[in-house]
């Protein structure tokens, strides 16, 4: 775990009650910071934040410019994680546009107005589409296959434009398939790891969309939080975009087999048709840039991370 000391500084965390956002919130507080959480609770929940964590909560949306500006005025830093995820974005592109693009513009305008020390924007590896070469570097072409990837890339472009035009101190990170504790399978928008764990636990054959040979770069949430906060705090991160992943490809069928073995279950998956969002065949991110510039490397391997996630799930069911 990266050692960061916020020294009592205030951090506005948009989407701070979500899966990754709640982990960021807790890390900020446990690292000496004061957290202001803005969340509309569309997919987040206050139960994601461990009892006893001292933070200020404001229920609202990043689409509310007046509210964002008011909160930014109080903040030293902004971690911008609020977004509609890929499933919601595909079902409702208009809402995706308003939250993911409009909300990001509001955050940047507020940061500029109130001279916030740094904004970190959380983007996605989905902006790469199907890459030409693996592992994918930050210089790889962007190819947007979904409304979600369009909006996340638009947010990045706004960050770059504000940095170049107004000198707004901003950095961005591109997440790859974050998993771990607090990714609640009861949430219909959760990721594949939690869905598989719940299905295996219930002896309900997990659904594999397509042939199961598609690959992803699964990144443990604690590592993602480390990289995000380094990008928020390090002077070397300003104006840059960084991949956050592991550089390791894992097929979906291999992920299922690892989880079934961990949970001691003899179960076979069911194969179903691919969805409209299943248009990326292979993914593994190069992390050379963030390793050399920010000294970040993932600390939790996939088997260890899956075990921690399974243990959390079992405990959460009690």
From first to last of its 318 residues, what are the pLDDT tens digits of the chain? 677 899 999 999 999 999 999 999 999 999 999 999 999 999 999 999 998 999 999 999 999 999 999 999 999 999 999 999 888 888 999 999 999 999 999 999 999 999 999 999 999 999 999 999 999 999 999 999 999 999 999 999 999 999 999 999 999 999 999 999 999 887 666 789 999 999 999 999 998 888 999 999 999 999 999 999 999 999 999 999 999 999 999 999 999 999 999 999 999 999 887 776 667 899 999 999 999 999 999 999 999 999 999 999 999 987
Task: Report residue 279 as tokens.
Answer: 């248009």
Predicted pLDDT at 276: 67
Helices assigned H by DSSP within 44-100:
65-74, 86-91, 93-96
Angstrom distances, CA of residue 206 to CA of 46, 103, 188, 192, 196: 28, 35, 15, 10, 6
pLDDT digits (tens, 9 = 90+) for 78-104: 999 999 988 888 899 999 999 999 999
Contact 96, 147 (CB under 8 A): yes
Predicted pLDDT at 314: 93
User: Of 77, 121, 128, 148, which residue is the catalytic one?
Assistant: 148
Task: Report residue 114 as tokens.
Answer: 């109130």
**Comparing C-alpha atoms, which of 52, 43, 54 is closest to residue 20?**
43
Predicted pLDDT at 116: 98
Distance CA 221, CA 241 (A): 19
Angstrom distances, CA of residue 131 to CA of 127, 139, 175: 10, 11, 15
**Comparing C-alpha atoms, which of 85, 78, 79 is closest to residue 42?**
85
Distance CA 108, CA 102 (A): 10
> Helix 221-233 and helix 19-30: axis angle, to 10°?
60
Any idea what DSSP says for residue 97? Answer: I
**Comparing C-alpha atoms, which of 15, 27, 126, 124 is closest to residue 78?**
15
Residue 313 a catalytic site member: no
> Helix 302-316 and helix 192-201: axis angle, to 10°?
60
Query: What CATH architecture does domain 10-175+219-244 belong to?
Result: 3-Layer(aba) Sandwich (3.40)
Instruction: List Cβ neighbours of 67 (8 Å cut-off, separation of 6 or more).
Output: 38, 58, 60, 61
């Amino acid at each position: 775990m990266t050692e960061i000391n916020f020294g009592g500084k205030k951090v506005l965390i948009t989407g701070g009650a979500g899966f990754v956002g709640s982990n960021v919130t807790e890390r900020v507080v446990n690292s000496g910071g004061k957290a202001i959480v803005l969340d509309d609770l569309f997919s987040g929940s206050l139960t994601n934040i461990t009892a006893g964590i001292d933070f200020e909560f404001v229920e609202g949306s990043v689409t509310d410019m007046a509210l964002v500006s008011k909160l930014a005025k109080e903040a030293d830093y902004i971690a911008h994680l609020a977004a509609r995820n890929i499933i919601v974005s595909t079902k409702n592109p208009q809402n995706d546009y308003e939250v993911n693009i409009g909300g990001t513009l509001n955050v940047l305008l507020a940061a500029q107005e109130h001279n916030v020390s740094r904004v970190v924007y959380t983007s996605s590896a989905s902006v790469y589409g199907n890459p030409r070469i693996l592992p994918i570097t930050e210089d790889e072409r962007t190819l947007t296959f979904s409304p979600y990837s369009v909006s996340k890339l638009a947010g990045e472009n706004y960050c770059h434009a504000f940095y170049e035009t107004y000198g707004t101190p901003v950095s961005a990170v591109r997440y790859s398939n974050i998993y771990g504790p607090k990714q609640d399978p009861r949430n219909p928008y959760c990721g594949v790891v939690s869905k598989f764990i719940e299905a295996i636990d219930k002896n309900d054959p997990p659904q594999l969309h397509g042939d199961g040979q598609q690959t992803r770069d699964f990144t443990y949430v604690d590592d993602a939080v480390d990289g995000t906060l380094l990008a928020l705090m390090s002077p070397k991160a300003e104006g840059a975009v960084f991949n956050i992943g592991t550089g390791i490809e894992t097929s979906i069928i291999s992920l299922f087999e690892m989880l079934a073995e961990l949970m001691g279950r003899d179960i076979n998956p069911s194969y179903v048709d691919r969805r409209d969002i299943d248009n990326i065949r292979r993914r593994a991110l190069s992390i050379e840039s963030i390793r050399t510039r920010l000294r970040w490397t993932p600390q939790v391997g996939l088997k260890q991370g899956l075990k921690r996630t399974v243990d959390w799930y079992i405990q959460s069911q009690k």
